[in-house]
């Protein structure tokens, strides 16, 4: 029986965020060679571009056909691992991406539903994070920038027959990043931080919860 495939993604830097903890987390997971029991994990770091769906993620999903997708992004105001419950069909048109371009549309999908719910096992994730002593936040609004755009497009893709388990999670800066950027003269505003150990542990917990969520369905189709 083949193992279920889990895809985890992070984001690169963007205006106002000279470092991104999700970039670090994806690289650290890959560097360590960690794999969840009973599944295969693939990690990717996506560019903060308004064409990221058509140019990056949709082709990857079509080729890899993962059983679960969990995307991580930075929220400077986050105080802990923030579990996003709801993707919203909106995009800010005045905020530039990494290339300096702005969105030409104020919605993620023309004529799409106003909101789409996550397909991540949030209760299981929340309980596991709590047991590990990792700060948790809950949100029903992922904003109107690239994080929400990816979240909505991913959930729209899942609704159309994509992965049964999919969703988005915000994370705060790492304490090491805040210290480094402060020393370099960057005046960051932030709500909270995580240690490197906490962030890696949190990503692993989320991935493991996704594995558990997809294993019964995967067994039936393998």
In three-state form (DSSP H/G/I as H, E/B as E, the rest C), the secondary structure along 128-157 is HHHHCCCCEEEECCCCCCHHHHHHHHHHHH
pLDDT digits (tens, 9 = 90+) for 90-118: 999 999 999 999 999 999 999 999 999 99
Instruction: Write the pLDDT tens digit of every residue in 6-36.
Output: 999 999 999 999 999 999 999 999 999 999 9
Six-digit token pair at 118?
């996550």
Give the pLDDT confidence score for residue 165 in this predicted structure. Answer: 98
**Catalytic residue check, 208:** no
Indicate which residue of 27, 30, 56, 84 is catalytic.
Answer: 84
Q: Is the pLDDT of residue 79 over 80?
A: yes
Over residues 176-203, the pLDDT tens digits come to 999 999 999 988 889 999 999 999 999 9
Dihedral class, residue 203 (left if φ above 0, else alpha if ψ from -120 to 50, else beta): alpha
What pTM, to 2 d.p., does this model score? Answer: 0.95
- For residue 216, the enclosing domain spans 5-221
Instruction: Provide the angle, in degrees to the nearest 10, between the axes of the packed helices 196-221 and 21-32.
Output: 70
The pLDDT score that the predictor gives to residue 219 is 53
Q: What is the CATH number of the domain that holds 19?
A: 3.40.630.20
Give residue 2's pLDDT band: very low, low, confident or very high (50, 70, 90): confident
- Whether 217 shows a pLDDT value over 70: the answer reads no
Contacts of 66 (CB under 8 A, 6+ apart): 5, 6, 7, 42, 163
pLDDT at position 124 is 98
Tell me how far apart the alpha carbons of residues 173 and 196 are, in angstroms, rounded to a whole number.
10
- Strand pairing class (165-171; 68-74): parallel
Is-catalytic flag, 170?
A: yes
Active-site residue identified among 28, 102, 147, 210: 147
Give dist(CA 96, CA 77) in Å, integer.
19
Q: Which residues contact 138 (CB under 8 A, 6 or more apart)?
A: 82, 83, 85, 122, 126
Q: Which two tokens stand for residue 97?
A: 């991406």
Q: How many independent structural domains does the chain possess?
A: 1
pLDDT reading at 220 higher than 80 = no
For the question of residue 40 being annotated catalytic, the response is no
The single residue of 19, 27, 30, 170 carrying the catalytic annotation is 170
């Amino acid at each position: 029986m083949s193992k279920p495939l889990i895809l985890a993604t992070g984001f690169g830097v963007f205006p106002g965020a000279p470092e991104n903890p999700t970039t670090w987390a994806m690289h650290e997971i890959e560097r360590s060679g960690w794999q969840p029991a009973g599944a295969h994990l693939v990690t990717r770091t996506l560019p903060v571009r308004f064409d990221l769906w058509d140019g990056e993620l949709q082709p990857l999903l079509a080729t890899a056909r993962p059983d679960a997708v969990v995307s991580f992004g930075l929220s400077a105001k986050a105080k802990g691992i923030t579990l996003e419950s709801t993707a919203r069909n909106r995009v800010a048109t005045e905020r530039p991406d990494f290339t300096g371009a702005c969105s030409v549309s104020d919605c993620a999908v023309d004529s799409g539903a106003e909101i789409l719910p996550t397909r991540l096992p949030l209760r299981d994730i929340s309980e596991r994070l709590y047991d590990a002593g990792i700060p948790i936040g809950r949100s029903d609004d992922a904003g109107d920038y690239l994080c929400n755009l990816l979240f909505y497009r991913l959930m729209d893709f899942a609704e159309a027959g994509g992965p049964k388990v999919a969703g988005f999670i915000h994370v705060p800066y790492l304490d090491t990043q805040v210290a480094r950027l402060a020393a370099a003269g960057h005046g960051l505003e932030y709500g909270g931080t995580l240690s490197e150990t906490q962030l890696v542990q949190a990503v692993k917990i989320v991935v493991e919860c996704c594995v558990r969520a997809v294993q019964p369905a995967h067994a039936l189709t393998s």
